[in-house]
Amino acid sequence: MTVHQFNTGRDDELAVRPADCGLGHACQFCPKEPECTLDKPHHEKRLLELRLAQIGQIILVMANKGGVGKSTVSANLAAGLAARGFRVGVADADIHGPNQSRFFNQVGQRVRVSERGLDTLSCFGDRLPHPVQVGSLAFMMERDDTPIVWRDAYKHDFMHHLIGSFDWGPLDFLVVDMPPGTGNELITLSDLLEQQAVAAVIATTPQQVALMDSLKAIRFCQERGLPLLGVVENMAGVTCPHCGGEFQLFPRAHLAEALAEHRVASLASIPLSPLLAMASDSGAPVTMDQPESPEARAFAPVVDACIEHARQESRQAASEELQALVTANAEELEALLSDVPEEDRAQARRDLEALLAGEHDRLNPERNDDR
């Protein structure tokens, strides 16, 4: 299902390319960097293109507010996608609070730099069809309580390292746990992923103070032209452990009104649950560890929305490539038909047109249904 937006194999074969070392990490990680005379910007660009060519759908989990559950949503979305059989990575872009090491039971683990790049940590390979690949700044720090005090230039570089230097391998989905806000990290990644299959999911709580900031993230997506799959409402309600009754902690009428006004879908309502909190702290996302629990089932619509969007993107990309192929090779097709006996040529052309039309309809079923 992987959509290859970058196809390095289609470059002009006669084009002059700068010499490249072939290493899978950025120049800053290389001991030979001080005396290296190769084209470093070309190497960084090549790294990003090679990594992104192997990644299908990228999902940015955003919230303009801290503490509303972005990391919880990211981890459970990733584990839920992996449980469906997809190859999934989690990129921890929250520089000042990289928590995915906790969610995937990798606290205290460190990564090494190899010729392939920075290692990702493979998680739950014994419990999932494919292990979840996790990349985080937490794996590069001496202590987990070390504060990161960086100016924007360092943040800009790390966003490039996160995508380009980590050895992600082939992925169907890369889930990016974004930091709060609409600042440098989000802008850098949005620019970096401009030509990729990327979409956003926004996490929020029902409180008006959280909604104020969440609406800014929604506007960022809309003004940027970033596809927004919808909003995940976290801490949406509580189930009484004694009687089983459900009640809301926060009024949510204003949330529903705001989403309707901005034409944004509400994907899921995640309960405020001790089980979810304990699963997060123990490093076992509920969507993998307890898939039949109410908490895991609450995440199912988010997983479904990401899968459906990726399939639509894949079909659209394939349809556009097919159309480009037909357009670019119209003369060649006519040349092939010229070898067909004249009395059969008209029928051969009709058969070919029907074949292409059938393939187009297969890749665009929603358009076919609208007819």
Instruction: Give the model confidence (pLDDT) of 111-125 as tens digits.
Output: 989 888 999 999 999
Residue 328 confidence (pLDDT): 54
Percentage with pLDDT > 70 across the chain? 86
Domain ranges of the chain: 8-298, 329-369
- Whether the predicted pLDDT of 317 surpasses 90: no
Q: Which class does domain 8-298 fall in? A: alpha beta
Cα–Cα distance between 254 and 150 in angstroms, integer? Answer: 37
Closest CA to 88 of 118, 137, 133: 133
Closest CA to 195 of 163, 226, 156, 155: 226
Residue 9 confidence (pLDDT): 40
Mean pLDDT to the nearest integer, 82-86? 96
- Whether the predicted pLDDT of 140 surpasses 90: yes
Instruction: Give the model confidence (pLDDT) of 144-175 as tens digits.
Output: 889 999 999 999 999 999 999 999 999 999 99
pTM of the predicted protein model: 0.83
Residue 4 confidence (pLDDT): 36
Cα–Cα distance between 105 and 129 in angstroms, integer? Answer: 18
Residue 7 confidence (pLDDT): 39
Residue 365 confidence (pLDDT): 56
Instruction: Give the model confidence (pLDDT) of 322-351 as tens digits.
Output: 666 666 566 666 666 676 777 777 787 777
Q: Among positive and negative, which fits the CA dihedral 291, 273, 176, 321?
A: positive
Strand-pairing partners, residue 62, are: 202
Cα–Cα distance between 245 and 253 in angstroms, integer? Answer: 20
Looking at per-residue pLDDT, the higher value among 111 and 39 belongs to 111
What lies within 8 Å, CB to CB, of 348 at 6+ separation is 337, 340
Cα–Cα distance between 196 and 241 in angstroms, integer? Answer: 45
What lies within 8 Å, CB to CB, of 269 at 6+ separation is 233, 236, 237, 298
Look at strands 117-118 and 113-114 and give their pairing: antiparallel
Closest CA to 140 of 116, 161, 167, 110: 110
Cα–Cα distance between 80 and 59 in angstroms, integer? Answer: 13
Residue 122 confidence (pLDDT): 97
